């Protein structure tokens, strides 16, 4: 179970881009849908999940087009499937925040608390990605702080937007 949680939070070494991107997509969907649907948690779950799915499909399609043009030919099914697997981290990035929303939907936590928990989990994932990148690149302390700050800054900018929209 720890391995699954770790993969959902961190992704894999080859999927950091999709994990960061997917996390930001989920946070944006939470911010946009949260104020209108935080009292309808199942609807918010559907919005967040559908948004992640649409962005994953768009990414697979766009990457497929790009690779097809670069190769000068149509991709075969195996090549397109490889792109879909590579970009799966965009979808997986939404699993833990969505589980936080489910906690609100089933009454374990309040609806508003579930939205904030989902945003917190997503922000933690962005911070973890920053730490991970800094360690892989053997950055100096200043480089580590900058990398983590940029990742957290993206997430916290979305959280700030939620606060502004909600009030």
Residue 3 in domain: no
d(CA 115, CA 37): 10
- Let me know how many helices (H) and strands (E) the chain has, helices first: 8, 0
Region 127-150: mean pLDDT is 88
d(CA 144, CA 132): 9
Q: Which residues touch 50 (CB under 8 Å, ≥6 apart)?
A: none
pLDDT tops 80 at residue 166: no
* Contact criterion met (CB below 8 Å) for 29 and 99: no
Residue 10 in domain: no
Alpha carbon 155 to chain centroid, angstroms = 10
* Contact criterion met (CB below 8 Å) for 147 and 19: no
The position carrying tokens 């009030």 is 167
- Per cent of the chain over pLDDT 70 is 90
Give the residue, 3 or 97, on which the prediction is more confident. Answer: 97
Residue 145 in domain: yes
Across all residues in the chain, what is the average pLDDT? 88
Residue 110 in domain: yes
Domain encompassing residue 104: 15-166
Residue 86 in domain: yes
Lowest mean pLDDT among 73-77, 121-125, 131-135, 140-144: 131-135
pTM for this entry:
0.84
Domain count within the chain: 1
């Amino acid at each position: 179970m720890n391995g699954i949680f770790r993969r959902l939070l961190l992704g894999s070494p080859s999927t950091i881009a999709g994990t960061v991107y997917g996390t930001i997509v989920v946070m944006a969907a939470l911010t946009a849908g949260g104020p209108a649907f935080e009292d309808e948690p199942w609807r918010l779950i559907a919005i967040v999940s559908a948004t992640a799915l649409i962005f994953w499909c768009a990414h697979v399609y766009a990457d497929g087009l790009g690779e097809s043009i670069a190769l000068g030919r149509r991709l075969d099914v195996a090549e397109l499937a490889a792109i879909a697997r590579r970009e799966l981290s965009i979808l997986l990035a939404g699993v833990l925040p969505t589980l936080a929303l489910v906690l609100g939907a089933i009454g374990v936590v309040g609806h508003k608390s579930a939205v904030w928990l989902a945003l917190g989990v997503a922000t933690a994932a962005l911070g973890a990605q920053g730490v991970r990148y800094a360690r892989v690149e053997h950055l100096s302390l200043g480089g580590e702080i900058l990398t983590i700050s940029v990742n957290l800054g993206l997430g916290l900018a979305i959280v700030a937007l939620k606060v502004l929209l909600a009030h």
